[in-house]
Copies of this chain bind each other. A is one copy, B any other.
Amino acid sequence: MLTNVIEVATGDRLVTDVTDSIARFCAERGDGLCHVFAPHATAGLALIEVGSGSEEDLSDLLDRLLPRDDRYAHRHGSRGHGADHLLPALVSPSLVLPVLNGRLALGTWQSVVLVDTNVDNPRRRLRLSFLSSP
Contact = CB atoms under 8 A, between A and B. Distances in A.
Contacts of A40: 107, 109-110
A117 to B, nearest CB: 12
Name the residue among A33, A38, A65, A66 with the largest chain B CB count within 10 angstroms: A33
A9 B37 CA distance: 28
A92 interface: yes
A129 B48 CA distance: 21
Total copies of this chain within the assembly: 3
A27 interface: no
Contact of A132 (B57, B71, B134): B134
Given A49-B85, A53-B74, A82-B57, A130 B129 contact: no
Given A1-B133, A41-B109, A48 B85 contact: yes
Given A33-B129, A129-B98, A91 B90 contact: yes
Interface string A38-78: 11110000111100111011101100011000011111100
Residue from the set A54, A91, A105 with the largest chain B CB neighbour count within 10 Å:
A54
A22 to B, nearest CB: 13
A39 B58 CA distance: 20
A2 B47 contact: no
